[in-house]
A and B are shown apart, each in its own frame.
Chain A
């Protein structure tokens, strides 16, 4: 709805920010919450037991962060950027044959559930940082080339976008660190590849934040790194979920 609405308005040369995209993503968020809640009740645990559920959970986290960050930063157009990512993730989850029940009966482990769920919520923040990064690069390119399209007038100022990127990176990094630490309390051995990948992602985002504060990277590079970082993190998530089928809570 958000994508269609924005595309139609942009095509007509009109875009009224705020309400529609926010409510469209909000409506999707309600449905996702309902789905995860039903699934969670059926499983008797946090619904992140297979790749299908993990992807839905990540899409839900993205919608959650959009609703937290979008209005605060007047980033209503972010809804039009957020929606395609959420739709793509949801479509993939629905169409790919990945909703397979776990082969072994999973034992309840609250630390493991906390570790996995908080890490996935952090992915939501990283995804939003990636989206803000895309918006930054679009706006920056228009300002550099002097070719101002309709979207230019609706995208937030560069400094606001950069502030949003920084804040989202901090949120994501803090939550991911919490997830990583909680992983040490799981009480059962986790695959080394999973641990290595998780630490790899943590280092990657730590490096972006370090580079941002030590002035190693210009804002444009930070925005580009957010996109690269999230693409890498998403690939690693796939790897983690795929290789650790028997260890996922």
Chain B
């Protein structure tokens, strides 16, 4: 039995090509018809992959045709990669562990792989080979996440802000957030905070219409621009992103308000350029000021840390690949010799 994977990902194909080969409801049946005993389509925004087991070799072109909705409009000759045997297992283990993702260490792919597997199992498209392959892949992903720091730290400005807020306040459900300026980045940051339970949102903008629109969009309430400073007495998180040419907040302006809230920290996220908050505000007790550069620097630092963990993750994966290969050879009573797989590790270009 040949165990193989054919696919396209963000590494080698643009979004148009990935959309074109994204698969369809009939893909499973088509894959069986073209000779696959077992087949599973993993289709996400960054990749389209087919994992399959077949008695005889099924060409990449045949698989590609099964993924296209309208065969007559076959305009692409994309660089499909193809991995067989243990290289197929290695690739899947890397995918589920987040090593092959656009953002190294992201965990969403694991959930997507689990969904794809469940769907294939429900329709009996996945049999004992894919079952063992995917069960092992989920185990590997869990082990990689537990034994390395591949998922550590946030890698986008919004998620860094949320992580920092958590490290200051813990539970964010009771945090009061004031958004000053209704920019796109501040909206993304608010949405990230809302996803972590923030419920009390106040939006203040020079143009009340935009402020109200954002408040409505994030289920918050609009505050008059002349009242924003007064709100600093109550709020826990202040997000500023106005287009002001001069700072709106500085040490002498904020200090008197802090005396009334000495035991409550204030987290200021200044994503405006030029900055809305003077840097000396960070020197005040209980105030944690982060501008766009410091947030981006933390995101880059996290990404570097994740990349530094790749080697450790690869080591875990290679152990599992060897074990899986041996298990397939013994457990499924299917002698798999490396000589039987002349294409092991070879990436076919152009299908």
Contacts and interface: CB of A to CB of B under 8 A. Distances in A.
A220 B285 contact: yes
A215 interface: yes
B156 interface: no
Given A14-B148, A146-B294, A220-B285, A157 B309 contact: no
A6 interface: no
Interface string A86-111: 00000000000000000000000000
A12 B147 CA distance: 10
Interface in B150-165: 152-153, 164
Interface stretch (B166-174, B317-325, B337-345): B166-174
Contacts of A146: 290, 294, 297-298
A13 B309 contact: yes
Contact of A157 (B170, B294, B298, B312): B170
Contacts of A220: 285-286
A196 to B, nearest CB: 32
A143 B170 CA distance: 14
B149 A13 contact: yes
B44 interface: no
Nearest to B294: A146
Nearest to B163: A153
Contact of A153 (B152, B297, B308): B152
Interface string B281-325: 010011010100010011001000100110010000000000000
A14 B168 contact: no
B65 to A, nearest CB: 45
Contacts of B282: 144
B170 A14 contact: no
A152 interface: yes
A218 B263 contact: yes
A209 to B, nearest CB: 13
A153 B153 contact: yes
A74 B153 CA distance: 19
A14 B147 contact: yes
Contact of A159 (B147, B169, B262, B301): B169
A151 to B, nearest CB: 11
B164 to A, nearest CB: 7
A148 B309 CA distance: 17
B152 to A, nearest CB: 6
Interface string B31-75: 000000000000000000000000000000000000000000000
Interface string A149-187: 010110111111010000000000000000000000000
A157 B149 contact: no
B146 interface: yes
A16 interface: yes
Interface in B328-346: none
A143 B164 contact: yes
Interface in A10-55: 12-14, 16
A158 B286 CA distance: 10
Contacts of B308: 13
Nearest to A212: B263
B183 interface: no
B301 A148 contact: yes
B265 interface: yes
Question: Which residue of B263, B282, B294 has the most chain A CB atoms within 10 A of its CB atom?
Answer: B263
Given A143-B168, A148-B301, A158 B146 contact: no
B262 A158 contact: no
A205 to B, nearest CB: 18
A100 to B, nearest CB: 46
A160 B282 CA distance: 22
B319 to A, nearest CB: 17
Given A139-B167, A158-B167, A218 B286 contact: yes
A229 interface: no
Nearest to B298: A148
B300 to A, nearest CB: 12
Contacts of B290: 146
Interface in A209-247: 212, 215, 217-221
Interface in A116-168: 139, 143-144, 146, 148, 150, 152-153, 155-160, 162
B286 A219 contact: yes
A146 B148 CA distance: 23
Question: Which residue of B164, B166, B265 has the most chain A CB atoms within 10 A of its CB atom?
Answer: B265
Contacts of B168: 143, 157-159
A143 B161 CA distance: 12
Interface string A60-95: 000000000000000000000000000000000000
B322 to A, nearest CB: 23
A147 to B, nearest CB: 9
A152 to B, nearest CB: 7
A143 B309 CA distance: 24
21 contacts: A14-B148, A14-B149, A14-B312, A16-B146, A146-B290, A146-B297, A148-B153, A153-B153, A155-B167, A156-B170, A157-B166, A157-B168, A157-B170, A158-B168, A158-B265, A159-B168, A159-B170, A159-B265, A217-B262, A220-B285, A221-B285
Interface of B: 146-149, 152-153, 164, 166-170, 262-263, 265, 282, 285-286, 288, 290, 294, 297-298, 301, 305, 308-309, 312
Q: Which 7 A-B pairs have the closest CB atoms?
A: A157-B170, A218-B285, A215-B262, A146-B294, A159-B170, A160-B170, A143-B288
